Amino acid sequence: MSESDAAKQAAVAWIREQMDRHGLTFDDLVEAGCFDEVAEVEATAHDVPEAPHVEDTVVRVLYRNAMGQTWDGTGEYPDWLQRAVNAGQSIDFYRVD
């Protein structure tokens, strides 16, 4: 098993534990918007507030945390990812591909 597979299994186990702890079902998560189209892996740049002038450019999300914060892999690590790496977490843990 690769490190990435192990990280995914650990994430799934944590999510299940949190769902059990808080009495959440999959339907609760859907109703809360956890799987809305907004969370799609790809979005056009005109949907991204930081780049309203760019047309037809695809922004691909490569990393996402449990809170839905994302990073496309360009530039410096965002604060949420830098804190996780500083705490010893592998960046691969957050990879979404």
Q: Helices then strands (H, E): number in the chain?
A: 3, 4
Over the stretch 44-54, which tens digit does the pLDDT of each residue have? Answer: 444 455 545 55
72 lies in the same domain as 45: yes
Percent with pLDDT over 90 in the chain: 22
Domain count, the chain: 2
pLDDT at 13: 83
Residue 5 belongs to what domain range?
1-35
Residue 80 pLDDT > 50: yes
Q: Could you tell me which residues come within 8 angstroms of residue 63 by beta carbon, excluding any fewer than 6 positions away?
A: 70, 71, 73, 81, 91, 94, 95, 96
Residue 97 pLDDT > 60: yes
pTM of the model: 0.43
Residue 86 pLDDT > 90: yes
CATH of residue 97's domain is 4.10.430
Residue 9 near residue 3 (C-beta atoms within 8 A):
no
